[in-house]
Amino acid sequence: MTDFGKIFIVIGIVFILIGVIWTFIGKLPGDFIFKKGNTTVYFPIMTSIVVSIVLSLIFYFIGKIR
């Protein structure tokens, strides 16, 4: 198996774990939802920070492997 294939397997497993965790957690405490009438505005600030950290770690480890 090539290194590229191993990287895809690891990334896939990470995304599955994130999806499972996200299903149980739902919205994080730092996410803001404003509802007024028929309008809903959603600001996923904390979710964006968490996704950024996870992606940074993934790309860091991919860089270390290569």
pTM: 0.57
Q: What is the pLDDT of residues 9-41, one digit of tens each?
A: 888 888 888 788 777 777 777 888 889 999 999
What does the alpha-carbon distance between residue 34 and residue 40 come to, in Å, rounded to a whole number? Answer: 6
CA-CA-CA-CA torsion for 42, 48, 49, 51, nearest 10 degrees? 150
- Would you state the pLDDT for residue 2? 67
- Would you state the pLDDT for residue 6? 80
- Would you state the pLDDT for residue 39? 93
Domain borders along the chain are 3-65
How many percent of the chain have pLDDT more than 90? 9
Average predicted confidence (pLDDT) for the chain: 82
